[in-house]
Amino acid sequence: MSETILEIQLPNLRHNFSFLKKTINSNTKILAVVKAFGYGSDAIAIAECLANEGADYFGVAYVHEGIQLRKAGITQPILVLHPQMANLDKLIAHQLEPSMYSIRLLNAMIEAAQRANASAYPVHIKFNTGLNRLGFLPDKTEALLNTLEANKKWVNPLGVFSHLAASDDPKEASFTQSQLAKFALIEKRFRTHYPNILAHVLNTSGVVNHATFQYDMVRTGISLYGYGNAAEVDKELKPVLSLKTVVSQIHQLKGGDSLGYNRALIASKPIKTATLPLGHADGIGRIYGNGKGFVWIHGQKAPIIGNVCMDMIMVDITHIDCEEGDAVTVIGPDASAENLANAAGTISYEFITGLSQRIKRKLIH
């Protein structure tokens, strides 16, 4: 190891997919979410691997992410969760399936289908059952069905879905059940018009905690990458990402010496520090500085001290016997991204999706 590397462990990805597949019914489809560069990794490599493993669908946030997968040869259906009106023509050209979450967007999609002369273009209808982020309200179901029927030449509701707000939180179980009850009524109403519609509501935590509501498909995101939002599930999963770096330089500070920008650390006693070649431009935000975050050197925890710099962090290695050039683990199988993120008051999603594209990726097959 001579530089900062993000290893992508494809065997672990395959293990996680297999585990999730075993937790659902054999006839339930799996949509693998690969948005945000595959949760900070490599969307194409992740999608290619999961396509070979039998993923039925892929999910992305935006149209350009879906186009990237199509250009890489991914042929499975791709659901675009948050399409923008400016990109609907490109969406159709690359045979992506959009989420329809408002009447404004639906009307724009109908017009785009007309321009492309694309008959009965497949769309998924998104309902807002309580997250209050995107989606039609349940009381718009009948009006929406009438609009779809009137424009069946141009759009075909292939799927109907919603998104759970707190499926990972046992204290919010009653709220989750209210969301599921609302969706059940919507699904039943749509099914009378479209018997073969693909209904999906469960995310990763939903699969774990509310498996009876699998419907036709489940959507898995963070769990594919090794984090299950629950301790008992985390034990079964394997982290896909390992972020490793090296010690660039070691310094001996005397009591009273300062460290880094704004002299954020004033040594109260002699300490030994190591400078590492990654910083907030790589995704290690300033929130991890000043003793909140940490890395691992020779199996020992080294706190991040001082302010995180753009390209470097400094860690306290007073208690660690190491040398310049030694390997450092930021996250990996024995260094959970969840634990690191929690220490700084955030979540694993934010940490791994924030890993910069300038970090060199290495696929482990």
pLDDT tens by residue, 100-117: 999 999 999 999 999 999
Asked if residue 34 belongs to a domain, the reply is yes
Distance CA(123)–CA(99), nearest Å, equals: 6
* Residue 344 sits in the same domain as residue 271: yes
* Residue 156 sits in the same domain as residue 271: no
Query: Which pair of tokens denotes residue 158?
Result: 């292939």
- Per DSSP, what are the bridge partners of residue 79? 59, 97
* Residue 246 sits in the same domain as residue 128: no
Asked if residue 134 belongs to a domain, the reply is yes
Contacts 24+ apart (CB under 8 A), 255-260: 259/305, 259/306, 259/314, 260/305, 260/306, 260/307, 260/309, 260/314
The CB-side HSE value for 308 (13 A sphere, CA atoms) comes to 20
CATH number at residue 321: 2.40.37.10
Active site residue ranges: 35, 261
Q: What is the pLDDT of residue 2?
A: 85
CATH number at residue 162: 3.20.20.10
* Residue 158 sits in the same domain as residue 271: no
Q: Which amino acid is at 284?
A: I
* Residue 295 sits in the same domain as residue 160: no
Q: What is the pLDDT of residue 228?
A: 80
Domain termination residue (choose one: 202, 227, 252) = 227
Residue whose token pair is 């300062």: 258
Asked if residue 2 belongs to a domain, the reply is no
Q: In the predicted model, is pLDDT for residue 231 greater than 80? A: no
- The mean-pLDDT minimum among 119-123, 169-173, 284-288, 294-298 falls in 169-173
Distance CA(237)–CA(284), nearest Å, equals: 24
Tell me the angle at which helices 43-53 and 10-22 cross, rounded to the nearest 10 degrees: 50
Asked if residue 36 belongs to a domain, the reply is yes
Asked if residue 4 belongs to a domain, the reply is no
* Residue 195 sits in the same domain as residue 332: no
% of the chain with per-residue pLDDT over 90:
94
* Residue 143 sits in the same domain as residue 279: no
Which of 136, 138, 245 has the alpha carbon at shortest distance from 183?
138
- Per DSSP, what are the bridge partners of residue 30? 218
Number of domains in the chain: 2
Query: Which pair of tokens denotes residue 109?
Result: 């999609």
Asked if residue 336 belongs to a domain, the reply is yes
* Residue 150 sits in the same domain as residue 276: no
Asked if residue 233 belongs to a domain, the reply is no
* Residue 188 sits in the same domain as residue 336: no
Asked if residue 35 belongs to a domain, the reply is yes
* Residue 203 sits in the same domain as residue 251: no
* Residue 59 sits in the same domain as residue 177: yes
Q: What is the pLDDT of residue 208?
A: 82
pLDDT tens by residue, 71-91: 999 999 999 999 999 999 999
Per the structure, the complete domain to which residue 215 belongs is given by: 10-227
Q: What is the pLDDT of residue 271?
A: 98
Under the phi-then-psi rule, with left for phi > 0, alpha for psi from -120 to 50, and beta for the rest, what region is 316? beta
* Residue 246 sits in the same domain as residue 170: no
Domain termination residue (choose one: 227, 250, 274) = 227
**Contact status, residue 204 vs residue 220, Cβ threshold 8 Å:** yes
Query: Which pair of tokens denotes residue 111?
Result: 């017009």
Domain termination residue (choose one: 227, 251, 272) = 227
Over residues 251-259, mean pLDDT: 98
Task: Give Cα separations from 134 to 153, 165, 191, 264, 316 (angstroms).
Answer: 25, 12, 22, 42, 45
